[in-house]
Amino acid sequence: MLKLSPEQLAESITSGDPGVYFCPLLFSHLYADNAGRWRLCCRAAPFEEGYTVGNIPPQEHWTHPRMQQIRREMLTGNLDLTRKHCQKCLAPEAAGRTSPRELLNRKLLARGKPADIPVLRDASRASAGGNYQLTERCLELKLRVFGNYCNLACYMCAPVNSTTRLKELRQIRDGYWLREMTVPDRPDFFESETDYQQFIEGVLKLLPHVKKIKITGGEPFLLRRHHEFLQRVVQTPHAREIRLSYDTNMTKFQLGSSNVLEYLKHFHGVTLSVSVDGLGERNDYIRYGAHFDEVIQSIEVARRYPNIKVDVSCATGVLNAGDIHPVAAFFDQRGIQAKFNMCVITKPVFAQARHLPDPLKEACLTRIEQSPFRSRFLNVAHMLREPRDESQFQTFLRYAADLDALRGTSLFKLWPEFKPYANSGA
């Protein structure tokens, strides 16, 4: 292998040189899914059964011979092993479509001169052969090892990610909807507390190379282990060099005597992507257990911290495809960006916006087209233009009726436009 300088590597990426198939995630990203399985990224195929956070420490995964081989393949264009894991990027690229890998590369190269981009400098050193080694602070971790407790039961959430939702769905028709969604209980990642603590020690050893940690749950701010982890990180000299990123329902900061904001203020920067899917009562129906006014109050509290940035992530589906303009306008007036394009609901299938009755879909599309925020709604519009399935919409209505019966809520009170289509065969 000939050593590629950062500039040569950047040029190969830009030109589409077949001798280089570079993905920055392989050189800067540690990811495990909600079953605890190590993957190259959220789109990649998992490794074999048993290759999990419970028995493969983070450093061992990062330096595993298979990881090193895939990195070498990406620097030579010989993709024998890469093809087994990266089809969700290789397939669209072969069809002439833009892949997530290509978007990531564009974002990477937009950061500045190649020689000033840490991940390119480290990849350049590895391009001469041998194993890839971290020497720069360029590593991004995604941690979901702190538990899946959540205080909300959002209608579209994968039950494996919320203990409250699991408990609720088990009560409905003897777990009928759990079986319909074929969602198992979340496995225990670690056989013992000792195993968990060893994993955390492994993460702490990586901190000199970490620039960002994304933390998910459950609801991260209500997970005891998460608070304990932050306490250990802020005791190191590395917290001030690290950015944190969260998906959070922002309903509570306090866990016992511990306030998460007291930890967050020690980090270089924190991004809170707050889950809000509607305004007022509609949001509280979608994110059952939330109180809209309290969430807005919590957002304003967090924004007082100079190192904390808040945005809103709106998971858009059958219940709120018609409300995205008011949501965008509400937060825009407060100087907060609401994001939609990355959060279009695909599962459960019956919650997809495309299954709305045609007159309702047309009304949604008209509102999107007339909105000054329509560039944020492109993926929502694409979903709405997909063909509908009446049986899926009726499945959704039955599902909502079962939730209403348990909760004492009313879908048709908040969405009266749905009532004419109940069992109508529209």
pLDDT tens for each residue of 223-242: 999 999 999 999 999 999 99
Average the pLDDT over each of 160-174, 272-286, 388-402 and give the range with the smallest value: 160-174
- Name the pTM for this structure: 0.90
The 10s digit of each residue's pLDDT in 297-322 is 999 999 999 999 999 999 999 999 99
| Helix and strand element counts for the chain (H, E) | 20, 12
Q: Which of 425, 328, 336, 426 is nearest to 380 (CA)?
A: 328
Paired with 37 in beta bridges are 52
CA–CA gap between residue 393 and residue 72 (Å, rounded)? 48
Is-contact 116 186, C-beta < 8 A?
no
Of the pLDDT bands very low, low, confident and very high (cuts 50, 70, 90), residue 165 is very high
Res 424: pLDDT: 56
Average pLDDT estimate for 154-167: 93
- For 79, half-sphere exposure in the C-beta direction (CA atoms, 13 angstrom radius) is 16
Q: What's the mean pLDDT when you consider all of the chain?
A: 94
pLDDT at 425 over 60: no
Average pLDDT estimate for 116-126: 93
- Domains of the chain, each with CATH number or no CATH: 6-117 (no CATH), 142-421 (3.20.20)
Res 187: pLDDT: 66
pLDDT at 426 over 70: no
Of the pLDDT bands very low, low, confident and very high (cuts 50, 70, 90), residue 185 is low
Average pLDDT estimate for 352-368: 98
CA–CA gap between residue 198 and residue 305 (Å, rounded)? 33
User: What kind and span of H or E run contains 79?
Assistant: none
Phi, psi of 269 (to 5 degrees): -165, 155
